[in-house]
Chain A
Amino acid sequence: MGKALSGIKTRNYLDKSGKALGKIPKFAEDRSTLKDLYRLMNLIRIFDKKVVSLQRTGKMGTFATSLGQEGVSVGIGHALQKDDIFVPYYRDQGILYQRRVKLIEIMQYWGGDERGSRYVYNREDLPISIPIATQLVHAVGVAYAVKLRKQERAVLSTCGDGGTSEGDFYIALNGAGTWNLPLVFVINNNQWAISVPRAIQTKADTLAQKAVAAGIDSIQVDGNDVIAVRQVVSEALAKARSGGGPTLIEALTYRLGDHTTADDASRYVDKSDLDKAWALEPIIRLQSYLTKKRILSKKEEKQILETCKEEVDQAVAEYLALSPQPPEAIFDYQYANMPSALQEQKDELNYSLHPY
C-alpha cells in the first residue's frame, strides 16, 4: 500500500467489543433512537435474507444484500432529513427504507418490475443506479440545482469501494468542489468489488484521501459502528445545508455475503478473513453496547426481532400477491408523448397478444 496521507481521520465511538470509547454523540443519548437503529439494522438483515430466499425459489431476480454493511446504510438513512435528496447505488436498502421507499417497492425493482422505482413518498430521490459510479455525477447536478435555488438542503450519494476507480468518481468529486456544492458522498468500502479486493483498486492507503486532490473535505468512519456513521454523516449533511460545501466519507466495513445472488464468494474470499470480519459486524456491536448499558432487555430484543419479521413477512406476502404490469406498459413511459412510429409497435404487440 502507498503512504498513508496524514490528516485523514477515522471516527468511531464504540470499540470492537461495543464499549464506548469516550463521550458519545448527543443523539445517541436518546435510548429510543438507539433502539431504533438496532431495529432498523435487524429489519434490513431479515429483509435481505428473505429476498435471497425468494430469489432461490425463482420469485425474485438477482439481488445484492447488505449483509455486514447494515451499519453504513442504516446510519446514513437515519442522518438524512426528509428534504434532503438521495442518489443511491444498488446496495442501499437501509437508506431507501428510511427514505420511505416501501419494502415492496424494493422487491419489485429487483423482481423485475419497473414500478419499484416509482417511489411513492420520496419523489425527488433518484432510482437505484446500476452502472457503477454514474450516480455520483447526477448528484453533482442535483446539488447544483439546490444551490442555484438557494435551498437549505443537502444531497447525498453513495458508491462502493470499486466505484472509486471509475472516472465518474473523480469527475463527481471535482465538480462538487468546483462549485462548493451541498453534497455528501459516502463510499461503502466493503473491501470487495465482486472478486476484486480493495488492494487491487488503488495503491492509495485510504479512499478518503482521493478527496484531497479535489479540494474537498474527507473522513473515514468505522462503518460497523452505526453511531459513528450516523454522527459523521449528520455533521457532513449539516455542513452541506449551511453552505459549508461537500464532504467525502469513507465507511469501512466488510461484505459478509456474496456480491449478489449471482455470485459465489467462497471462490475468492478466505474463510479466516471472513470469520475475522464476522467478529466486527455492526449488529452485535450495537447490541453489546445496548446490553452493557441496560438499554435493551432480552425481552425487548426478542420483541424487536419479532416485529421486524412480521413487517418483512407482510411485505413479502403483498409482493407475491402483486399482478404484473400489463405487457403494453413497456411502451408507455419511453416519451412524454408517444411517437406515432412507437404507437404502431405498441399496436403490433397488442395485436399479437389479442388477435381477435
Chain B
Amino acid sequence: MKEITLIEAVNQALMYEMARDENVVVLGEDVGVNGGVFRATVGLSEKFGPERVIDTPLSEALISGMSVGMSVQGLKPVAEFQFMGFTYPGFDQIINHASRMRNRTRGRLSCPIVYRAPYGAGIHAPEHHSESTEALYSHIPGLRVVIPSSPARAYGLLLAAIRDPDPVVFLEPKRIYRLFKQQVPDTGEALPLDQCFVLREGKDITLVTWGAMIHETMQVAEKLEEEGIEAEIIDVATIKPIDMDTILNSVHKTGRCVIIHEAARNCGVGAEIAAQIAEKGLMSLLAPVQRVSGYDIVVPLLQLEKYYMPSVERILGHVHHIMEYA
C-alpha cells in the first residue's frame, strides 16, 4: 500500500466521504479547479463536479454563513478556509449561528458542518498565515475542535468530523502536512472524536500536546529515554470536548505533567487542561504542572519565528525542572 502524507490523507477522506454520501459538499476559495492552495481538494472537482466542489467568491462570511444554510437543509458542508488567520471574517456565522442552531431550535435544526483550516507556524509563511487560535473556538459552546497529528488520524478524524451531527472546527497542522508518510487504508473507518490518543506509554512524566508539536514532543521523549526517564505522550486530538479521563489517568500514574502547545500561553487550551488537573488530579501531582507554549506575542515574521516556537530544548528544560521535585 502506498504511504501518504497528512494532506493526502485529508484528500483521501474527502474523496471517500463524498463518494459515500451525496450530501457532502466541499466549498471554499480555490478548492475547485486549483484543488486548494495546499492541494487538499485535488481531484474532487473532476470526480464530483463543480456543483458539489464549489469555488466560492472570496468571502469567508459567505463560506461560513452559507454552510449554515446548507446544513440546516441536510447537506453536509465541508468548508475550507485558506488559513486560520482568515477564518475571522467567518467567525460571526460560526459563533452566532452554527454553534447555536441546535440549541435555539430545541433540536429541530442542526449544523453538521466541518470548518477546515490549516493552522500553525513554522512554514515561513507571510504575515497572518501562522496563527494557532484553537482556544478561541474551544471557548464556544456547541462547537467541536479537532486537530489531527498524523496521516492516519487526519483520515479517521476527518471522517468522524464529517459524520458528526454538530459543527466541527477541524484544524490541520500545516507544518506537518508533508513531514512524514504513513499507510492509511482507505476503509472509511472513522476514529473516535472524543478521545485522546496515547502515542507512547511511560511511567515518569505525562507530556500532553496536539498538532505539529507532537513532532518535537516525540523527540523530547527519545532524549528523555536516553536519560532513563519514561515519558507518556498524549495527543489530545479533540481539543473540545476534551477527554480529560485519559489525561487524568496518565497524570495519576506519572505524577508529573507538561502541556505543550504552539499557541500563545494566556488563556490557551493548556490553561484549561491545567485547571482540570488542578480540580480533579491535584492529589496525584508530585510537581507543578508546566506549560510550554508560544509566547504571548504576535507570531513573528519568518526571520524570528523559530524563537516563538516551543523547541525541543525549551520543552526539555521544563521537563528537567519538574523532574527535580522528589
Contacts and interface: CB of A to CB of B under 8 A. Distances in A.
Q: Which size class do B's interface residues fall under? A: 35 or more
Contacts of A195: 30, 32-34, 55
B303 A201 contact: no
Contacts of A330: 295, 297, 300, 304, 307-308
A112 B124 CA distance: 8
Contacts of A168: 89
Interface string A103-145: 0000001111110000000000000101110000000000000
B132 to A, nearest CB: 15
Given A131-B88, A349-B295, A193 B305 contact: no
Interface string B242-275: 0000000000000000000000011000000000
A165 B86 CA distance: 14
Nearest to B62: A165
A349 B314 CA distance: 9
A61 interface: yes
A334 B29 contact: no
A2 interface: no
B34 A201 contact: no
B127 interface: yes
A166 B90 CA distance: 10
Contacts of B85: 131
A131 B86 contact: yes
A345 B296 contact: yes
A267 interface: yes
B304 A194 contact: no
A167 B125 contact: no
Q: Which size class do A's interface residues fall under? A: 35 or more
A113 B304 CA distance: 8
B123 to A, nearest CB: 10
A288 B302 CA distance: 42
Contact of A194 (B34, B59, B302, B313): B34
B278 interface: no
B302 A61 contact: yes
A227 to B, nearest CB: 30
Nearest to B61: A167
B295 A112 contact: no
Nearest to A112: B302
Contacts of A334: 296-298
Contacts of A113: 301, 303
Nearest to B304: A330
B128 A131 contact: yes
B107 interface: no
B97 to A, nearest CB: 15
Given A201-B58, A330-B295, A330-B307, A112 B301 contact: yes
Given A166-B61, A342-B295, A353-B307, 16 more contacts: A130-B127, A130-B129, A131-B89, A131-B128, A166-B89, A167-B89, A194-B29, A194-B34, A196-B57, A200-B57, A201-B57, A325-B303, A325-B304, A329-B304, A334-B298, A349-B295
The 10 closest A-B pairs by CB, nearest first: A112-B302, A195-B34, A165-B57, A162-B58, A112-B301, A112-B303, A327-B307, A165-B58, A330-B300, A165-B59
Interface of A: 61-62, 90, 109-114, 128, 130-132, 162-163, 165-168, 193-196, 200-202, 262-263, 267-268, 324-325, 327, 329-331, 334, 341-342, 345-346, 349, 352-353
17 contacts: A61-B302, A62-B126, A111-B302, A114-B301, A131-B85, A193-B29, A195-B32, A195-B55, A201-B58, A267-B34, A325-B303, A327-B304, A330-B295, A330-B307, A334-B298, A341-B296, A345-B296
Interface of B: 29-30, 32-35, 37, 55-62, 85-86, 88-89, 124-129, 265-266, 295-298, 300-305, 307-308, 313-314, 317
